[in-house]
């Protein structure tokens, strides 16, 4: 499938989702207008009560319900300084890191700066005012508590309220009590739904965006200058893309296995032929940026999370290349040499299909030779080398018979 078609379908899907979500306010408004028209009809038709008091009380109960729904719908904010980290048992099992990579060093290890960062990453000292959220939480608990305690007396209180409002309609008491009861019930409940749903769906998104702007508004560089996070990310991404493209072209021109110089180094993306690649990894999110980079090179990527799924997909479509990890969870069990088994299985089914193994340094040291013997064309721990090898294997001539390489 062409990338433009995929982008078009994704855009149409997102637009349809937004339109579907935006229908809700119109539905709530339509129901509100229907209720107001019903109230107005009672003034023009029997029992001919006063229209203005009835409409005012209707809007009053609706606004009261909206206020209550607003209080119940205000989203909670995460306390300042907290981080969503995986549970200790998941961190111990390695679920908080990429699939093949070794566990992180312990916190009490030797000190040292192991990262090569371009900036200090110190956020602008600004806290978010959450007083409204705290007041909402406090009032909500009080309302729920008092409501549960006084639950038995609520019908009597509602009857007294209806008796207080009924004389303003200027009709007989029985009809006025019935009309007021309907107004109280309908507009209170509908107002609560309006306040809660609009607050929960729309206001929460606005608050979250505003909080993100406040929290991540800027970072301070080593020189002391401040720059917005979005602008910094854009500049860093541009620098990384340029660096990655330069290294990829260097690797393409001088491949690690000593093969011939490819003619596609420096060729514009639009002029490169479209290819279809299958990527097997039980943690596909770890490869998001690499997949994005491949698709920029006019290489469509399908993803599988198990060897069984990958073999089934290989039978359904014609793929030009297979990328696989090494250690992987299969049928609930973690198999350290799953990549080797995958290479052997695919070699039996599709002997001509090039296979690239992308994994961590530890698994390469343990199983790299086995994967090479099984038939893997390229084994690497570097994302840049992976991109270069994929481009080379996809666009090399049919008669090329390069030897397997480990990078």
| pLDDT tens-digit readout, 356-387 | 999 988 888 999 999 999 999 999 888 888 88
Mean pLDDT across the stretch 237-244? 69
- The whole-angstrom separation of Cα 250 and Cα 351 is 29
Average pLDDT, stretch 256-285? 68
Q: Is 375 exposed, middle or buried (0-12, 13-18, 19+ CB in 10 A)?
A: middle
Q: What is the pLDDT of residues 92-126, one digit of tens each?
A: 444 444 444 444 444 444 444 444 434 444 444 45
User: Across residues 269-277, what is the average pLDDT?
Assistant: 75
Q: How much is the pLDDT for 98?
A: 44
Q: What is the pTM of this model?
A: 0.47
Higher pLDDT, 274 or 221: 274
Q: What's the CA gap between 366 and 337, in Å, rounded?
A: 9
- The single residue listed with the structure tokens 């312990």 is 106
Alpha-carbon gap, residue 397 to 389, rounded angstroms: 14
Q: Tell which wins on pLDDT, 321 or 248.
A: 321
pLDDT (mean) for 333-341? 93
- CA 137 vs. chain centroid, Å, equals 27
Listed range (70-74, 231-235, 397-401) with the worst mean pLDDT: 397-401
pLDDT for 21 beyond 90: no
Q: What is the pLDDT of residue 245?
A: 67
Q: 299-304 and 275-280: which strand pairing?
A: parallel
Average pLDDT over residues 125-134: 65
pLDDT exceeds cutoff 70 at 37: yes
Looking at per-residue confidence, does 134 or 403 come out higher? 134
The three-class DSSP label of residue 339 is helix
DSSP secondary structure code for residue 262 in this structure:
P
Two tokens at 236?
A: 């860093």
Q: HSE-up of 23 (CA within 13 Å, CB side)?
A: 6
DSSP one-letter code for 202? I
Q: What is the pLDDT of residue 220?
A: 67
User: What integer is the mean pLDDT of 242-268?
Assistant: 58
Of the listed ranges 87-101, 165-179, 209-223, 386-400, the least confidently predicted one is 87-101
CA distance 151 to 224: 61
């Amino acid at each position: 499938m062409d990338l433009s078609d995929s982008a078009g379908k994704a855009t149409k899907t997102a637009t349809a989702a937004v339109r579907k979500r935006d229908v809700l306010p119109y539905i709530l408004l339509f129901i509100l207008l229907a209720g107001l028209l019903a109230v107005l009809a009672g003034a023009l038709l029997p029992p001919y009560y006063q229209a203005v008091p009835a409409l005012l009380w209707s809007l009053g109960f609706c606004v009261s319900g909206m206020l209550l729904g607003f209080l119940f719908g205000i989203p909670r904010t995460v306390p300042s300084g907290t981080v969503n980290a995986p549970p200790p048992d998941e961190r111990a099992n390695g679920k908080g890191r990429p699939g093949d990579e070794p566990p992180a060093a312990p916190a009490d290890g030797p000190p040292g700066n192991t990262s090569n960062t371009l900036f200090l990453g110190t956020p602008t000292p600004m806290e978010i005012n959450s007083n409204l959220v705290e007041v909402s939480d406090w009032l909500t608990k009080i309302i729920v508590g008092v409501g549960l305690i006084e639950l038995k007396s609520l019908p009597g209180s509602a009857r007294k309220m209806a008796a207080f409002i009924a004389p303003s309609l200027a009709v007989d008491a029985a009809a006025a009590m019935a009309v007021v009861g309907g107004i109280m019930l309908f507009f209170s409940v509908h107002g609560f739904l309006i306040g809660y749903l609009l607050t929960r769906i729309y206001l929460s998104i606005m608050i979250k965006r505003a909080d993100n702007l406040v929290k991540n508004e800027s970072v301070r560089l080593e020189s002391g200058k401040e720059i917005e996070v979005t602008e910094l990310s854009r500049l860093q991404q541009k620098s990384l893309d340029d660096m990655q493209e330069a290294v990829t072209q260097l690797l393409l021109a001088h491949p690690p296995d000593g093969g011939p110089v490819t003619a596609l180094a420096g060729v514009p993306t639009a002029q490169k032929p479209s290819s279809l690649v299958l990527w097997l990894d039980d943690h596909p999110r770890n490869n998001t940026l690499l997949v994005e980079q491949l698709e920029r090179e006019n290489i469509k990527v399908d993803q599988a999370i198990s060897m069984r799924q990958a073999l089934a997909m290989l039978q359904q479509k014609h793929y030009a290349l297979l990328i696989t990890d090494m250690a992987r969870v299969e049928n609930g069990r973690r198999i350290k040499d799953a990549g080797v088994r995958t290479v052997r299985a695919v070699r039996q089914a599709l002997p001509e299909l090039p296979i690239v193994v992308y994994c961590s340094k530890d698994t390469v040291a343990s199983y790299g030779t086995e994967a090479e013997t099984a038939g893997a064309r390229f084994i690497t721990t570097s994302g840049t080398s992976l991109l270069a090898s994929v481009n080379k294997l996809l666009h090399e001539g049919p008669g090329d018979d390069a030897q397997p390489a480990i990078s």
